[in-house]
Structure 1
Amino acid sequence: MSIQSIVLATGNAGKVREFAQLLADYPLEILPQSQFNVAEAVEDGTTFVENAIIKARNAARATGLPAIADDSGIEVDALNGRPGIYSARFAGEGASATDNWQKLLAEMTGQEQRNARFQCVLVYMRHAEDPSPIIAQASWEGRIGDAARGEHGHGYDPIFLVGNSDQSAAELSDAEKNALSHRGKAMNELLAQFKAKGIL
């Protein structure tokens, strides 16, 4: 089977690495959009699905390749679902991951209700005008910890306690995280749809 090239609509090195691991067993070559100098899409949607479609369309249009886009974030019940679609820029435009989770910890000071979940939406578009993109969505339940823990992962992983455990997502190995995470589950759903539609 020939290898299919797909552009990944992100410049996030952590996400690129996760995708490469999740798709390592398939005849797919995942190329980050930064390799093509693709300008970042303006994420002006109001949902994860809208933003993922915007990013996939932008990458497909710029490269002429099929594109996968990921839009993901963390929803905190005590904050009425914030930061949600604004997770990557919760502490402001250009904020670092550390800035973002430090702001979230500060807002959670004194909160007893700490339930939260990561959400991930993956969108695959065959081309920029694809009228029927493949959409996969999954979530990962947990809680916001009191302090950062662990050296692995990226984003909010250091303050996200997995399920009912006291282990943060940043304390998991890559294999453990991929088996449990919102992105891993969404990828399994996307691959199932690929197989059903004859893409793989």
Structure 2
Amino acid sequence: MEKVILASRNKGKLKEIQAILEKFGMETISRDDAGIPEFEVEETGTTFEENSLLKAQAILDEAHTITIADDSGLEVDALEGAPGVYSARFAGENCTFEDNNRKLLKELEGVPEEKRGAAFVSVITMLFPDGRKLVARGECRGTILTEIHGTEGFGYDPLFLPEGENRSFAEMAPEEKNRISHRARALEKLEDMIREKCSC
């Protein structure tokens, strides 16, 4: 069974990606299980695609085997796509989820509901040693609420109301959120791409 290294240490992501890749005779392992040395990839890209590629390329250069990495965040229409690739540090270095949410609410003070559109974005990059590259982008559109709703999830989940829903991401059980999330949609696209473009 061909091995694929996941650049992330997130066990949830590992499980989700393994569920897809095992259909193609691949086994997904974490960077730790693959023995990748401890180092942080500097995310210098200005897009999710660029940062996802940087992370995947760094692991591929170390391991010389198929690698998958992802980058994700929140794009708010009224803020011209911000916080975008800076989603995790929107309120500054070493900030908390609460810090980021407070800053987002402040930035959107006075913005009417119809102009509070946003999208969670996930980009997954899969690199092969022979130079093949698959890039899958998933988006979940919604609206930024005017106050915190719910205690589940993390990040901007308490402020994000997905289209067609009456509960924020933070008011949904994890399995409910994962069915409609940006990462779920990116994973669906990745599976289609592997099926269409790879002889694996």
Tell me the equivalent position of 1:72.
72
Tell me the equivalent position of 2:3.
5
Taking only aligned residues, the RMSD between alpha carbons, in angstroms, comes to 2.2
C-alpha distance in 1 between matches for 2:20 and 2:64: 24
TM-score by structure 1 length?
A: 0.85
C-alpha distance in 2 between matches for 1:97 and 1:59: 28
What is the CA distance between 1:149 and its match in structure 2? 2.2
Given the alignment, which residue of 29, 53, 67 partners 1:31?
Answer: 29
C-alpha distance in 2 between matches for 1:99 and 1:148: 12
The total of aligned residue pairs comes to: 193
Question: AA paired with 2:162?
Answer: V
Q: Deviations over 1:104-163 (max 9, x none)?
A: 122122221211111111100123xx5331011121100111222223322211211111
Given the alignment, which residue of 12, 16, 23 partners 1:17?
Answer: 12
User: Which stretch has the larger CA shift, 93-102 or 18-27?
Assistant: 18-27
Structure 1 unaligned runs (5+)? none
C-alpha distance in 1 between matches for 2:69 and 2:6: 6
- Aligned-pair identity (%): 37
- Kept in 2: contact 1:144–1:160 (CA 8 A): yes
Q: Compare CA radii of gyration and give the structure with the larger one.
A: 2
TM-score by structure 2 length?
A: 0.85
Q: Does 1:117 align with 2:112?
A: no
C-alpha distance in 2 between matches for 1:177 and 1:137: 17
- Kept in 2: contact 1:38–1:62 (CA 8 A): no
Q: How does 1:1-200 map to 2 (within 5 A)?
A: 2=1, 4-11=2-9, 13=10, 16-21=11-16, 23-24=18-19, 26-27=21-22, 28-34=26-32, 36-112=36-112, 113-127=115-129, 131-198=131-198
What is the CA distance between 1:56 and its match in structure 2? 0.5
- Kept in 2: contact 1:119–1:140 (CA 8 A): yes
What is the CA distance between 1:99 and its match in structure 2? 2.2
Question: AA paired with 1:123?
Answer: T
